[in-house]
Amino acid sequence: MITVLQPDVTVPLDRFSDWIAEEGQDYRVIPLEHQPVPALDDCGAGIIVLGGRKDAVTVSESPFLEDVYRLLRAAVDREVPVLGICLGHQILGHASGGTVALGHPAQGEEGAYDVTLTAAGAADPLFTGLDETFLAAESHHDVVEVLPEDATLLATSKACPNQAFRIGSAVSVQFHPEVSPATMGKWTAGDGGDGAAMAAHMTRVDEKVRAGGRIIARNFVSIVSGTN
């Protein structure tokens, strides 16, 4: 079983729901706004931390953060696979000693962007089967500005240098491998933008975006099951 931590009900597991199930893996979703962070022994064989509208460091606004930090550090200590996505990427970065910048003036991205694997990323099991440069969905303005000391950089983009990193058994990605065009449109509309235009933009490039996300979902399930 994979435990999915959901910091924000507007940021769902989305297409990963079907892709994880298609790989024969069970999962459960824990909405952190309504349920406590589980103990590591109750998380099964892997953990996914999803995105959200709040930030990775302001505990007063997201009281569950301290428990998530502890859980992720314990997971790395016990070599439990973790995948952090967007906010989850920033939470892992902060919990592991990195620096998260809120509202970075130059590194924010909204839409589809090219992401390029480093040499370490090309060799990482989470990214097996991806092209060196692939198209990914992005929706963020906070970033992991300085990686944790023990982290390995796995991917970059033109605007945002720290697109993915690994620290032990945990990998996190700034982009959204799970998101559909419809969900991207909802997020944009919720922020006061043109949701229909964003959904149309993402639909035009969805064949490539979807293919990369599907590969990452499959690879994470393989890592969790011990076949990768």
Residues designated as active site: 86, 176, 178
> What is the secondary structure of 141-157 as a DSSP string?
S-EEEE--TT-EEEEE-
192/160 Cα distance (integer angstroms): 23
Residue environment code for 99-128, b if the CB has 16+ CB neighbours within 10 A, otherwise e: ebbeebeebebbebbebebbeebeebebbe
Residues 6+ apart with CB under 8 A from 33: 7, 8, 9, 64
SS percent in the chain: helix, strand, coil, step 5: 35, 25, 40
Delimit the domains of the chain by residue range.
2-225
Q: Are 85 and 178 in contact (CB under 8 A)?
A: yes
Q: Tell me what pLDDT residue 226 has.
A: 81
At the second CATH level, the architecture of 2-225 is: 3-Layer(aba) Sandwich (3.40)
Q: What is the mean pLDDT of the chain?
A: 97
The ranges of the chain with pLDDT < 70 are 228
Alpha carbon of residue 74 to chain centroid: 19
* Tokens, residue 159: 């605007």
SS3 state at 28: strand
Q: What is the pLDDT of residues 20-56, one digit of tens each?
A: 999 999 999 999 999 999 999 999 999 999 999 999 9
28/202 Cα distance (integer angstroms): 28
